[in-house]
Amino acid sequence: MSASAGPTTPPAFSPTGTYVPGEPWSSGVRRGPDGALTVAGVDVRELAVAQGTPAYVLDEADLRERARSYRRAFEAAFAEVGAGVDVYYAGKAFLSVAVARWVHAEGLRVDTATGGELAVALRAGVPGEHIGLHGNNKSDAEIARALEAGVGRIIVDSLVEVERVAAASRARGGAPAPVMIRVTTGVHAGGHEYISTAHEDQKFGLSLATGGSVASAPGAQVEDSPAMTALLAVLAHPELELLGIHSHIGSQILDPSGFEVAARKVLELRAALAERTGFLVPEVDLGGGYGIAYLPGEVALDPDRIAKDVAASVAASSADLGTPLPRFSIEPGRAIVGPAGLTLYTVGTVKPVRVGGPTGDGEAESTTVRTYVSIDGGMSDNIRPALYGADYHAELANRLSDAEPVLARVVGKHCESGDIVIHDVLLPGDVRAGDLLAVAATGAYGRSMASNYNHVPRPPVVAVTDGEARVLVRRETEDDLLALDLG
Ligand code: LLP
């Protein structure tokens, strides 16, 4: 989560009035000659006419470049220390058939968290062996489908699931199912508690804390951690192949030190298992969580820097432990798709509201005015501000204005006062009905967490590439919603 920084600074403009591009906007965002935003050469006013608003706009070249840079950065840094690495795109951030194809074409694999995400990856033609399946409560049907598709890995999240996957694999026959055990390292990283996933008191993974095991496995001892017990349980099943250990420590992480601490703990567990059983787990997955810029002035994690630091750190840990390096994998989602997306809205109403009231120091009342700018979407297309207190940045998109900026609050159209897209942002004082507003960096966890609250149909996802727009996911219609209502 980005720190709440109050009103964001007005955008930087060159003397010719051209927007100076940069984070948090995707690399294809510019100001055209008449001041309107363009994305990959497509004028947002034309997009709004052709596609309607709200609309998610995805800059394909930007997304692909981020996918490539993560893959190249990690491949280079890990090759330097003698380890291989695979980059899985975490589809939960946003998955469509086209996006799965793009990232796969850029050399990434696809991490799925449900049968639904798995279905999209398969529809895209991603080969099973390049897909991973996560989930803390996978159904038997999801497990069976993953095995049927020949997924490269099932990341097992509990002891019960070891048995479930083993039973499914036994029932199917054939090669043992490749599994990883997801562990919680106690490292708590990332913005909001709800998206920090490796501390102990939460539903994901199996703890590394010794003596925490409440179930047993052949060869396990009472003082073993749940993680060790699960690894031993997998080794005891001929229907399972113990592929690796998995750790994901949180999301929107801007301080990378947690990755190194967690990796060290995972490598220690791997060494301990090898000492116990002689089996050296071949792979280690370090999860996703790489933070991005949501506001002007924020600095995203640099893939080159972090890849080098993590590679150096795991090499040092492995040397200390006297174990050869495993093959690694990572699972970035937000860092690939987040900055590549923006949401385009139309302004409906603009309402100045006096805030503060009596000051209590003799003055009659405060004169602060907040300008409520209502747009045609809201918490149904971006729940993150309401759910995590996330901050976003917006700009007037259809024109430039030299009107004095006002302190604005961008709100949605839902029946809820917490339906706020941006708490505080400076917008030109002449912002008015019919204007277009672009909100930056909404590519991750926007459409994928969208709802139909108030029966608002979900917006389309429109890709823009080299001056052309293409609908990847069409706008939902009222007919789509009514089709589910059987009367
Ligand atoms: N791998 C695993 C096992 C995960 O649980 C996640 C995210 C990722 C990878 C990808 O993390 P990323 O690189 O995108 O940070 N809805 C929240 C984020 C939830 C993340 C859940 N797991 C948000 O909007 O901030």
Kindly report, residue by residue over 396-450, the tens digit of the pLDDT.
999 999 999 999 999 999 999 999 999 999 999 999 999 999 999 999 999 999 9
Active site amino acids:
415
**22 pLDDT tier (thresholds 50, 70, 90):** confident
Please state the atom number of ligand 1 nearest to the C-alpha of residue 448.
16
Judge whether 317 and 269 are in contact, CB under 8 Å. Answer: no
pLDDT for the residue 361? 58
- The two tokens of residue 11 are 């955008």
Write the CB contacts of 446 (distance below 8 Å, at least 6 apart in sequence).
Answer: 56, 94, 341, 343, 381, 382, 384
Question: Which protein residue's CA is at the shortest distance from atom 16 of ligand 1?
Answer: 445
The pLDDT score that the predictor gives to residue 17 is 34
From the CA of 362, how far away is ligand 1's center (Å)?
50
pLDDT band at 7 (very low <50, low <70, confident <90, very high): very low
CA of 47 to the centre of ligand 1 (A): 30
- Ligand 1 atom nearest the C-alpha of 253 is 15
pLDDT at 198: 56
The residue whose CA is least distant from atom 19 of ligand 1 is: 195
Give how far the C-alpha of residue 323 lies from the chain's centroid of Cα atoms, to the nearest Å. 32
Neighbour tally for 377: CB within 10 Å: 29
345 vs 15, residue with greater confidence: 345
H or E element, residue 62: helix 60-80
- Per the structure block, which two tokens stand in for 478? 């009222």
Which of 171-180, 366-375, 396-405 has the lowest average pLDDT?
Answer: 366-375
Residue 85's contacts (CB-CB under 8 Å, 6 or more residues apart) are 74, 75, 78, 327, 328, 329, 330
Token pair, residue 485, equals 């209502």
To 10 degrees, the CA torsion angle through 85, 444, 439, 13?
A: 0
pLDDT digits (tens, 9 = 90+) for 255-274: 989 999 999 999 999 999 99
Q: Could you tell me the distance, in angstroms and rounded to a whole number, from the CA of residue 82 to the centre of ligand 1?
A: 28
- Asked if residue 345 lies in contact with residue 408, where contact means CB atoms within 8 angstroms, the answer is no
Share of the chain above pLDDT 90, in %: 83
* Among protein residues, the one whose CA lies closest to atom 24 of ligand 1: 445
Vertex 249, ends 326 and 266: CA angle to 5°? Answer: 30
Please report the atom of ligand 1 found closest to the CA of residue 449. Answer: 16
% of residues, the chain, pLDDT over 70: 90
pLDDT at 417: 93
Q: Is residue 73 over pLDDT 60?
A: yes
H or E segment and range at residue 473: strand 468-473
Residues with CB under 6 A from ligand 1: 90, 92-93, 111, 134, 195, 197, 248, 251-252, 287-290, 331-335, 384, 388, 444-445, 449
Are 102 and 59 contacting, i.e. CB atoms less than 8 angstroms apart?
Answer: no
Q: How many Å apart are CA 439 and CA 239, to the nearest integer?
A: 49
240 neighbors 177 (Cβ within 8 angstroms): yes
Which of 160-174, 194-208, 460-474 is predicted least confidently? 194-208
pLDDT the model gives residue 4 = 39
Ligand 1 centroid to Cα of residue 288, in Å, is 6
Taking the centre of ligand 1 as the mean of its atom positions, its distance from the CA of residue 333, in whole angstroms, is 7
pTM confidence score: 0.93
Return the minimum-mean-pLDDT range out of 17-31, 397-411, 473-487: 17-31
| Burial per residue of 283-319, b for 16 or more beta-carbon CB atoms within 10 angstroms, e otherwise | bbbbbbbbbbbbbbebebbebeebbbbbbebbbebbe
For 153-170, the pLDDT digits (tens) are 999 999 999 999 999 999
Please report the pLDDT score of residue 187 as a whole number: 87
Over residues 216-242, the mean pLDDT reads 92
